[in-house]
Homo-oligomer: A and B are copies of this chain.
Amino acid sequence: MNHPDTKITLAQFAEISEQRLPFAALMGLKLQSVSADCAVMKAEYRDAFLRPGGTIAGPVMMGLADAAMYALVLANIGPVELAVTTSLNINFLRKPAPGDVIGRATRLKFGKRLAIGEISLFSETAPDDIVAHATATYSIPPSVN
Contact = CB atoms under 8 A, between A and B. Distances in A.
- Size class of A's contact patch? 35 or more
The binding surface of chain A is classed by DSSP as mixed
Interface in A48-101: 48-53, 55, 57-60, 62-63, 66-67, 81-82, 84-95
Interface of A: 16, 20-23, 26-27, 47-53, 55, 57-60, 62-63, 66-67, 81-82, 84-95, 108-109, 113-114, 116, 118, 130, 133, 135, 137, 139
A116 B139 contact: no
A23 B49 contact: yes
Given A59-B62, A63-B62, A113-B139, A21 B51 contact: yes
15 contacts: A22-B48, A27-B59, A59-B59, A62-B66, A87-B87, A87-B91, A87-B92, A88-B88, A89-B89, A89-B135, A91-B116, A91-B137, A108-B130, A114-B139, A137-B137
Interface centre among A62, A84, A85, A87 (most CB of B within 10 A): A87
